[in-house]
Structure 1
Amino acid sequence: MDYRVLLYYKYVTIDDPETFAAEHLEFCKENNLKGRILVSTEGINGTLSGTKEDTDQYIAHMRADERFKDITFKIDEAEGHAFKKMHVRPRHEIVALDLENDIDPRETTGKYLSPSEFREALEDDDTIVIDARNDYEFDLGHFRGAVRPNITRFRDLPDWIKENKEVFMDKKIVTYCTGGIRCEKFSGFLLKEGFEDVAQLEGGIATYGKDPETKGELWDGKMYVFDERISVDVNQVEKTVIGKEWFDGTPCERYINCSNPECNKQILVSEENEHRYLGACCKECAEHERNRYVAKHNISDEEKEKRLENFKETVQQ
């Protein structure tokens, strides 16, 4: 494979995010890179794709900056670009937790666990392992025995914790996310909420899956990624499918966005059922006048009505 995907972040002071973002975007475009990078006064959070040569140039450029000299890049091989465009955007936070009193992970964060230490925590009956990702990420793949917060956005996690505080307060808590950035803040939030024994998987799932000792063991399903690949494998030892098809509940790892542009819900759907239900999550969305699946495939009104009849025969899982 000639391309690579880089995933990285660093909590570090960037005094002028707007200027940094503009200059960084120019550099990325000059080096044929594509991806999404967020910049704020608290640091940088990015994922991008490019050829091996171009990504090597980017890594060297970053590490030449004193602020990023020790930044860690998680690297995947890829067959081509994982993004269509290049965006570098200034933001209030590099990961949105939207707390009234923000957490600075450089001051307050949970202790770091290596992949081997994290695997021990997974096998410890006295430890609660909380997935810090969104529900649709969890449903595609997660660590065995992990707790699934019922959230669709990271910023909803603090409220979920407060609602369930009594269940977890006296427990040993370990948390994980894709690359580690969300857990840096989330574990700090837990400590500020009064939880005493809080740890996090250093480097996230992405690091755990490549660790030569753990080899991704005790992970079921696939890891959701925020690029055109949608998902990647983690467990090198055994392959399991835990995702369930939206309409019939059969094993499925194929995510699509609901064809109603006003819904856009991510659902696991087989190619057959995407065709059968017009790429929509429900009859109301399938009927929408701007249904993207209908437009893309030039489906006639007669054919649309015929497929809408299929919703009478299904019970959503």
Structure 2
Amino acid sequence: MKPYRVLLYYCYTTIENPEQFRDEHHQLCIRLNLLGRIIVAAEGLNGTVSGSPADCEEYMRVVKADPRFESLEFKVDEADEHAFQKLNVRLKSEIVNSDLPVDPLVRTGIHLEPEEFKKMKDEEDVVLIDMRSNYEHSVGKFKGAITFDMENLRELPQHLDEIRHLKNKKVITYCTGGIKCEKASAYLLEQGFENVYQLHGGIIKYGIEAGGEDFDGKCYVFDNRVAVDINQVNPVVISTCYRCGSHTDRMINCASPACNNHVTLCENCGNEHQGTCRDECKADPNLRPYDGTGYYAKETRGYSPLLGYRSQQASMSH
């Protein structure tokens, strides 16, 4: 049993006064010593936070006690330390950037629980579609899944022609925690796809509840861990080192702040090239010291969650 927990969650629900809710939620996280990233919007709540088991338990209890979030599901993982350096509770127009003209509260793909997904994914008329960004699926994806060369979900309409011929198939969308698929599957339905499903809780829940079978590689996550193991049944490494081409699933951020590319880099190349993806990056005068993890937290400079809360209040009042 590890000393920290990481909670991944989202919920599409109507929040009448998102500004007030954001303030109250930030204070709740401060009280419970949680760090992480949380997005609040009129359409719902989305977050990943880390903390002690007791603090995470209390957070889940308080959130679930709110009738607006009674359907919310937490994906709970273990960690050796806090998965974040800071606490950010931000107000945005969407809880996942998409710009897609859909409302998941009206219509979305059929939710498949991990065990249902496991049984259905290999059927002959089923197609798996990865709704994540290119750097995410480069380090791990489901066997046989279709992937798009896109930076974010806003680009999905540009890739529709790549899958339009699959309209008569059973399409299952998947992503890290399920949130992107709520809008992506709704968008496919709007575009005339008839049999659309989504992996409920995403790759993370599938790994926790169903052993992660047939997920090749690692799952990219948006915290200090960078990428995590999912498959406990038949794991393989599918990614190759950006520099030498050897098989590796070590995902890093380039040590050059001007570049900051997300790439896979083997241990040898990481050490030899100071955690950079290209020789030009090595010449960056602001090169960050490479410590073997390839994760670079933003400088805290006296930051505390309470100061973060006050600075957010100040910026909103101007």
Tell me, yes or no, if structure 1 residue 52 matches structure 2 residue 48.
no
* Structure-2 residue corresponding to 1:131: 130
Q: Greater CA radius of gyration, 1 or 2?
A: 1
* Structure-1 residue corresponding to 2:258: 262
* Structure-1 residue corresponding to 2:302: none
In structure 1, give the amino acid aligned to 2:21.
F
* Structure-2 residue corresponding to 1:66: 67
In structure 2, give the amino acid aligned to 1:252.
T
Contact 1:121 / 1:174 at 8 angstroms: preserved in 2? no
Tell me, yes or no, if structure 1 residue 218 matches structure 2 residue 217.
no
Distance 1:218 1:279 in 2: 30
Describe the superposition over 1:200-220 as per-residue Cα deviations: whole angstroms up to 9, x where unpaired. Answer: 111111121122xx4221111
* Structure-2 residue corresponding to 1:10: 11
Structure 1 spans left out of the alignment, 5+ residues: 295-317
Tell me, yes or no, if structure 1 residue 171 matches structure 2 residue 169.
yes
Describe the superposition over 1:102-155 as per-residue Cα deviations: whole angstroms up to 9, x where unpaired. Answer: 311111101111223212332123221101111111121111111111112222
* Structure-2 residue corresponding to 1:110: 109
* Structure-1 residue corresponding to 2:201: 203
Distance 2:145 2:155 in 1: 18
- Secondary structure of the structure 2 residue equivalent to 1:188: helix
* Structure-1 residue corresponding to 2:273: 277
Distance 1:236 1:30 in 2: 36
User: Following TM superposition, by how much is the alpha carbon of 1:165 offset from its aligned partner in structure 2, in angstroms?
Assistant: 4.3
- Secondary structure of the structure 2 residue equivalent to 1:151: coil
Residue 55 and residue 268 in structure 1: after superposition, are their counterparts in 2 closer, same or farther (change >3 A)? same
Distance 2:177 2:273 in 1: 35
Structure 2 spans left out of the alignment, 5+ residues: 291-318
User: Following TM superposition, by how much is the alpha carbon of 1:160 offset from its aligned partner in structure 2, in angstroms?
Assistant: 1.3
Residue 202 and residue 61 in structure 1: after superposition, are their counterparts in 2 closer, same or farther (change >3 A)? same
Describe the superposition over 1:64-93 as per-residue Cα deviations: whole angstroms up to 9, x where unpaired. Answer: 212112321110111111111111000010
Distance 1:67 1:106 in 2: 13
- Secondary structure of the structure 1 residue equivalent to 2:9: strand
Matched length: 289
Contact 2:174 / 2:181 at 8 angstroms: preserved in 1? yes
Describe the superposition over 1:150-181 as per-residue Cα deviations: whole angstroms up to 9, x where unpaired. Answer: 112222122212x3243323322111111111
Distance 1:119 1:55 in 2: 29
Tell me, yes or no, if structure 1 residue 237 matches structure 2 residue 233.
yes
Contact 1:122 / 1:144 at 8 angstroms: preserved in 2? no
Tell me, yes or no, if structure 1 residue 227 matches structure 2 residue 227.
no
- Secondary structure of the structure 1 residue equivalent to 2:138: helix
* Structure-1 residue corresponding to 2:139: 140
- 2:247 is aligned, of 225, 245, 251, to 251
Distance 2:138 2:108 in 1: 27
Tell me, yes or no, if structure 1 residue 287 matches structure 2 residue 283.
yes
Contact 1:141 / 1:224 at 8 angstroms: preserved in 2? yes
* Structure-1 residue corresponding to 2:81: 80
Moved over 6 A (4+): none
User: Following TM superposition, by how much is the alpha carbon of 1:20 offset from its aligned partner in structure 2, in angstroms?
Assistant: 1.2
In structure 2, give the amino acid aligned to 1:139.
S
Distance 1:69 1:110 in 2: 20
Contact 1:122 / 1:145 at 8 angstroms: preserved in 2? no
User: Following TM superposition, by how much is the alpha carbon of 1:192 offset from its aligned partner in structure 2, in angstroms?
Assistant: 0.5
Which deviates further from its counterpart, 38-47 or 228-237?
A: 228-237
Distance 1:252 1:158 in 2: 32
Distance 2:226 2:27 in 1: 27
TM-score (norm 1): 0.87
- Secondary structure of the structure 2 residue equivalent to 1:292: coil
Aligned identity (percent) is 45
Distance 2:255 2:51 in 1: 30
* Structure-2 residue corresponding to 1:160: 159
Distance 1:164 1:170 in 2: 14
Contact 2:98 / 2:153 at 8 angstroms: preserved in 1? yes
